[in-house]
Structure 1
Amino acid sequence: MRQILFSVVFLSSYCFSQESDSLHLNQSKKIDSAKVLSKKEIKTRDIDDVVITGTLKPISKSKSPVNVEIYTQKFFQKNPTPSIFEAISMVNGVKPQLNCSVCNTGDIHINGLEGPYTMILIDGMPIVSSLSTVYGLSGIPNSLVDRIEVVKGPASSIYGSEAMGGVINIITKNALTAPRLSVDLMTTSWAENNVDLSTKFNFGKNVASLLSLNYFNSTKRFDENKDNFTDAALQSRISVFNKWNFVRKENRLASFALRYLYEDRFGGEMQWNRSYRGSDQVYGESIYTNRVEAFGVYQWPMKENIVTQFSYNFHDQDSFYGNNPFLATQKVAFTQTYWDKKLGNHDLVLGATFKKTFYDDNTPGTMSSDGLQNEPMKSPIFGAFIQDQWEVNEKNTLLLGYRFDYDKIHHSVHSPRFAWKFSPNPYHTLRFNFGTGFRVVNLFTEDHAALTGSREVVIKDNLKPERSINGNLNYVWKIPAGGRLINLDASAFYTYFSNKIVGDFDADPQKIIYDNLNGYGISRGASMNVDFSFSFPLSVNLGVTYLDVYQKFDGETGKSRQLHAPKWSGTYSLTYKFKNNLAIDFTGQFYGPMRLPVLPNDYRPEYSPFYNLANIQVSKSFNSGFEVYCGVKNLFNFTPKDPLMRPFDPFDNNVNDPINNPNHYTFDTTYGYAPMQRIRGFLGVKYNLK
């Protein structure tokens, strides 16, 4: 892991992945911090990292005014998982949050902000958003990943809505440089079976196609806490991915990709079977998901650097939460064209975007005001942006950016940003970023508690788009130590939210009431990561994040803590490599107390305990291309207590029983804050043919 850390930023990077495909990593100049360097080399050589995109074009991290964290596939292989959703927990300050203890739906939190504030990109395209954040994240297999960029902080000046908390850009493998054959088979003692297969085809010297198949199956039921509910959702999932890369004159960009996902997911009472789907006899949450994605990039065949990017996704969900049906369809089309022009010390980018979202479901959210006819949401948004990256001198770089969006409901939205980088020498880099973010919300696609029917959703008044103002200070210090480098990366951030849309879980246990906050919201904190390799074959990565996330209501003296936002959290990764290609990885995450959604007079604690999720892996690679690995997940065997309220009465048949239920508790699935899977072993084998 290199230059890993946190910095809250307003970055941009729609085209990163495609440009990365063209340049690829072997064309970037870099010095691996884990490599032994002589003191003379450290003093005389430029200390640089892999080529990245922080400003809509490839640029070395050391020169970028925007801080971006980069994670390669090998980093995530230290704790093998079947999907990105689980793997991303290894990133400091990023938390995959389980929002339902029955079907295990989840989203990704960055610096304590809820999932709808995080934009998930695949190859720079806004593929995963809205409805797909509920279940689509689990359907992105690690086998597709070449590397991942993480940007923490508002990025609306380039990405528009849904990027208020940060951006996670999943960069898929380049078909031109991918292995001819790649196989990864893994199973666990909880009967989780994962198969990753990929192969590439060359059509002459200028065209290559990558075909990837992922199959995940977990159908054995476990109930270790004896509440008669499955501890983990059962899943049967298949993902097929096909990407085409083209070699063109003057290294012009051209790629196109397709992906299909199908998932059958169930969580509920142990005796449930398909005959009970939608009934009120045995409780089960059953979700069928069909999803198609297409995305690509094309650089125009002309002297000027003009690039067009496009994406389309179709998402269909057929689900029952107990006897409550939820049927939804979403279609999102996106296109962007930008012009990159170098003028002396200025690098200008000028672009325009168009995004159209179609959304329909069977809830009152898509009904007419009189409730007599269905009115699907059709939301076109036009955008234009400009930015200027100005290299003032060798030590100072400035970036000025501005974005304008027009939405038929919210009309004009303006998003400026400013970034400054100061590097007095190759060992010290200081970055300051300032900017704004905004978010347009469709609650019915974002809140799982609204979908399950366990709580009624109430939307008060006309919701205004959320706005935020953010400042971030990032410091990177590369410390020479005995011929090696200690990488220290630290950030402090502060975000002020106005018109913040909040869900009131406390006023009525039967409802979630949404409204613009009469007051303001604050997200502030600090992060630090340290990366060091010893003279003996041990490398260590440690990270810690402090968060203070809350809302302040007008007329009240106190403040309301953000749900599922621990004040302290951290990650760790220790790797020891032996001479015979044997390696041991010890990885994990720890979380301090976080506020949970409790019911009135709830006997369960309002704050979770401190807990640690640790994993250990032993792997052995062979010259033939094979690798064998095994290990233990959740080494300390931690699981939450009482994740479900009244699991013996999931249909609330006896909620008003004054003797057996004097507090009128209702069945509730939102209290869980960590996976219910206990300690378990895993075993796998890989093969790569280059």
Structure 2
Amino acid sequence: MLKFIFCLVLLIPSLANAQVNTDSVSAGTDSVKINQLKEVVVTATQTEKNPMQVPLPVSQISGQEIRNRGLVRLNEILAEQTGLAVLPDAHGQGVQMQGFSPDYTMIMIDGLPLIGRTTGILELSRITTNNVDKIEIVKGPVSSLYGSEAMAGVINIITATPQPGVSGSFSSRYGTNNTADLSLSAGYGNEKLTASGFVNRYSSSGYSLQPQSGSPTVSPFYGYTLSGKMAYKLGRNTDLNLSIRNYNNNQTDRYLVDSRQVSGDGSEKDFNLSPSVIHRFSEKLTGTLRLYRSTYRTQSALNYTDDHTLYDESYFNQDFNRAEIQGDYKLNRTLRLTSGVGGQYEQVEATRYDQKESFTSGYLYAQADWYPLKKLNVIAGGRYDAHSVYKSQFSPKLAASYSLFSNKFVILASAGKGYKAPDFRQLYLDFTNAVVGYTVFGYEQVKPGIARLQQDGQIQTILVDPASLNKLNAESSTAYNFGYRYSPFKNLMWTVNAFRNNISDLIDSEPIAIKTNGQSVYSYSNIYKVYTRGIETEVNYRFFKNWAAAGGFQYLEAYDESVVDKIRQKQVFGTDPQTREAVRVTMSDYGGLLNRSKYMANVRLTYQENKYGLTASLRAIYRGRYGFSDADGNGIVNRDDEYVKGYTLFNASVSKLLFKKRLCAQLTAENLFDYKAPLTISNLPGRLLYAGISYHFSKNNVNN
């Protein structure tokens, strides 16, 4: 199947190019225009480049497109993108990319990484999109620039910079489940100074997909985001920049534990501060100094409502500090060199850790952006990371693009290595479930933890000698991407990317001892290899001046190599659900890794009439079936009753500009046909209807 799809998408452009008159259509000036050569992308190479020429799988979502769809949180807009799946768990919603779990995608705001991952997921709804200029998505490992957590790719949310003069805006959206989103922004800019401020309040009454359980699926909450940016030109060659962001969320929890009601409050706080200096030493050489501090705090206290005794109390505190110097040197018109060096200090203190733990690391990276030929762009680079806990990592990358047919057809190819460091949980966790009785130790806690349990008489059998456990290493991947961008005329853009990721040293938990209560003691180790491969394609087309259509598709295979080997050796068996007899599992039965859909697709249709300020959009998002459980106990997905069935969601929005296009009224619907799967999909609360209004003003005649 994969070979057939790949051959098909490679053949079509050559046929189409022979038939298309490349001068037949000219683009209009409205916002549904497809090909915008003035746009640049930064995230893929840390330098500004035309998105058509970047030799990596990269895509952009403009702030105007987000506003036209009426979407106000990051999880909402990412769920509609080709090749991305937004996955829920008990701690929030994360994004899956190229078959990688959410742990492996770095989320950044203005090029700075966000911290605060719980079980690997960084809650996407923490991030508002009301102040976003654009979102850049780079697929495939970018560890050669960004280090750990960029093994699957990077999503960079770039916030808006104020235009010259005075500007401001207000927006509000209210709808289902008493969900309210309010934003206020103001900005000022002249030749020397730009400054902006932004405030957002986001709240909801929550919802329950299974009211009979006595527990909400999402508890009531309210949260605030405050952020600001300032840039000042200190002379002709020096820029001073400062960005600050603070997020504070409060939640009220209430649920049943052994038929007793438990309730309490929880809080989540996220703070980011980054000053930077950019100095142009000459026309060829530019230097940048960046400092970054980020803190993340959670706290919760739950009490039984009948007698007010404490049920559970927990906290999690994480600090992240970074200093980095970067240099950019334009050797000539065809070669640009970028290099940097930096250091990081991280620490965490939490209920489940015995003491405050910390990491230190240093890194250096270098990249060459070279045009050996006018039509050929080659980017080569690498990054070296030295860490205080795990062994050093080197992440190289090589990418190239070649333009054909007057730059209307660009071939892309890249190869690189990525890695993900063991997190604090995998290294330092010390947790015993008070109800069930199992215990989990991080690698660094195994020896003292087992010794303590033995001393207390809680160990019945040792399955793995702690002294024999190998040092926990970073997970690593080798990735290959190959594809093209094809724009035969200005109103059409077609992109294709085929990918393969070979991942080794994946970290997973395994039992190392049996306790006297019959429960297990678990720890983490590098135990298996997997690979993901597939192909994705997207087409954008504008027609009849006011109409635009787009569609995307991804085919994905994600397999555990050890399982594949055993299946080929005819060593894997399952149980027939009707006869209960043992049956041999074949490769056609094997569903791959959990929570990966083999097929995903999306289609959208947009109408925009600038004269009357009317915009309407209809989107359909399909996610094919995916493995969810192991009903026959063989450790893999191989039966139809082990899948969540595929489904399609329909989203729509319509907006009207009023009062000289300063005021916008909007209606938005998500999950229009009210699809639900309460037992398997917790982030689908049913149909969501919203009404919103926004106002924008600007005044450009400001004296400098």
Q: TM-score range by the shorter chain?
A: 0.7 to 0.9
**Superposed counterparts of 1:11-410, under 5 Å:** 39=24, 48=37, 50-53=39-42, 54-100=44-90, 105-128=92-115, 130-131=117-118, 134=121, 136-176=123-163, 180-201=167-188, 205-219=191-205, 221-222=207-208, 226-250=212-236, 252-269=238-255, 281-283=260-262, 286-300=265-279, 302-303=281-282, 304-319=285-300, 323-344=311-332, 345-363=334-352, 366-367=353-354, 374=355, 376-410=356-390
Residue 253 of structure 1: CA displacement?
Answer: 4.0
Structure 1, residues 622-666: CA drift from partner, whole Å, max 9, x if none?
A: 215000001322112111132xxxxxxxxxxxxxxxxxxxxxxxx
Match of 2:19 in 1: none
| C-alpha contact (below 8 Å) 1:444/1:451 kept by paired residues | no
Match of 2:595 in 1: 564
The separation in 2 between residues aligned to 1:139 and 1:115, in whole angstroms, is 15
Other structure's SS at 1:169 match: strand
Distance 1:404 1:253, change over 3 A: same
- Greater relative contact order structure (CA < 8 Å, 6+ sep): 1
Residue 39 of structure 1: CA displacement?
Answer: 2.6
Match of 2:669 in 1: 632
| C-alpha contact (below 8 Å) 1:501/1:516 kept by paired residues | yes
Aligned letter for 1:569?
M
The separation in 1 between residues aligned to 2:207 and 2:380, in whole angstroms, is 54
Residue 66 of structure 1: CA displacement?
Answer: 2.8
The separation in 2 between residues aligned to 1:576 and 1:302, in whole angstroms, is 48
Residue 489 of structure 1: CA displacement?
Answer: 0.2
Residue 347 of structure 1: CA displacement?
Answer: 1.1
The separation in 1 between residues aligned to 2:253 and 2:426, in whole angstroms, is 20
Other structure's SS at 1:85 match: helix
Range that drifts further, 435-444 or 159-168: 435-444
Residue 87 of structure 1: CA displacement?
Answer: 2.1
The separation in 2 between residues aligned to 1:221 and 1:545, in whole angstroms, is 31
| C-alpha contact (below 8 Å) 1:632/1:681 kept by paired residues | yes
Other structure's SS at 2:416 match: strand
Match of 2:464 in 1: none
Structure 1, residues 476-508: CA drift from partner, whole Å, max 9, x if none?
A: 11123xxx5321000000010110123579x99
Structure 1, residues 447-473: CA drift from partner, whole Å, max 9, x if none?
A: 99x999888545574421111100000
Match of 2:684 in 1: 676
The separation in 2 between residues aligned to 1:626 and 1:593, in whole angstroms, is 42
Structure 1, residues 196-230: CA drift from partner, whole Å, max 9, x if none?
A: 1111245x652232111100111265556643332
Residue 409 of structure 1: CA displacement?
Answer: 1.7
Distance 1:263 1:391, change over 3 A: same
| C-alpha contact (below 8 Å) 1:164/1:438 kept by paired residues | yes
Aligned letter for 1:296?
P
Structure 1, residues 349-382: CA drift from partner, whole Å, max 9, x if none?
A: 121121111111111xx32xxxxxx2x2211110
Structure 1, residues 379-429: CA drift from partner, whole Å, max 9, x if none?
A: 111001111111011111111112111012223211111111111231100
| C-alpha contact (below 8 Å) 1:179/1:688 kept by paired residues | no
The separation in 1 between residues aligned to 2:218 and 2:681, in whole angstroms, is 13
Match of 1:689 in 2: 697
The separation in 1 between residues aligned to 2:594 and 2:236, in whole angstroms, is 51
| C-alpha contact (below 8 Å) 2:253/2:266 kept by paired residues | no
| C-alpha contact (below 8 Å) 2:25/2:491 kept by paired residues | no
Range that drifts further, 580-589 or 423-432: 580-589
| C-alpha contact (below 8 Å) 1:324/1:452 kept by paired residues | no
The separation in 1 between residues aligned to 2:364 and 2:220, in whole angstroms, is 44
Match of 1:525 in 2: 534
Residue 496 (structure 1) aligned with residue 502 (structure 2): yes
Residue 681 of structure 1: CA displacement?
Answer: 1.5
Residue 280 of structure 1: CA displacement?
Answer: 8.5
The separation in 1 between residues aligned to 2:165 and 2:264, in whole angstroms, is 39
Residue 607 (structure 1) aligned with residue 643 (structure 2): yes
Residue 112 of structure 1: CA displacement?
Answer: 2.1
Distance 1:71 1:250, change over 3 A: farther
Aligned letter for 1:631?
T
Match of 2:619 in 1: 587
| C-alpha contact (below 8 Å) 2:210/2:678 kept by paired residues | no
Distance 1:196 1:40, change over 3 A: closer
Distance 1:179 1:492, change over 3 A: farther
5+ unaligned residues in a row in structure 2: which ranges?
A: 1-21, 28-34, 304-310, 444-468, 573-589, 699-704
5+ unaligned residues in a row in structure 1: which ranges?
A: 1-36, 368-373, 643-671
Distance 1:514 1:476, change over 3 A: farther
Range that drifts further, 436-445 or 485-494: 436-445
Other structure's SS at 2:218 match: coil
Aligned letter for 2:688?
R
Residue 544 of structure 1: CA displacement?
Answer: 0.9
Q: TM-score, normalised by structure 2?
A: 0.78
Aligned letter for 1:675?
N
Aligned letter for 2:87?
Q
Aligned letter for 1:617?
S
The separation in 2 between residues aligned to 1:629 and 1:446, in whole angstroms, is 48
Aligned letter for 1:394?
K
| C-alpha contact (below 8 Å) 1:184/1:684 kept by paired residues | yes
The separation in 2 between residues aligned to 1:458 and 1:212, in whole angstroms, is 42
Corresponding pairs, count = 599
The separation in 1 between residues aligned to 2:550 and 2:594, in whole angstroms, is 28
| C-alpha contact (below 8 Å) 1:612/1:636 kept by paired residues | no
Aligned letter for 1:594?
Y
Residue 96 of structure 1: CA displacement?
Answer: 2.0
Match of 2:452 in 1: none
Range that drifts further, 572-581 or 127-136: 127-136
The separation in 2 between residues aligned to 1:511 and 1:75, in whole angstroms, is 51
Other structure's SS at 2:213 match: coil
| C-alpha contact (below 8 Å) 1:55/1:66 kept by paired residues | no
Match of 1:470 in 2: 479
Range that drifts further, 587-596 or 204-213: 204-213
Other structure's SS at 1:216 match: strand
The separation in 1 between residues aligned to 2:264 and 2:506, in whole angstroms, is 31
CA RMSD, 1 decimal: 3.4
| C-alpha contact (below 8 Å) 2:603/2:620 kept by paired residues | yes
Range that drifts further, 509-518 or 556-565: 509-518
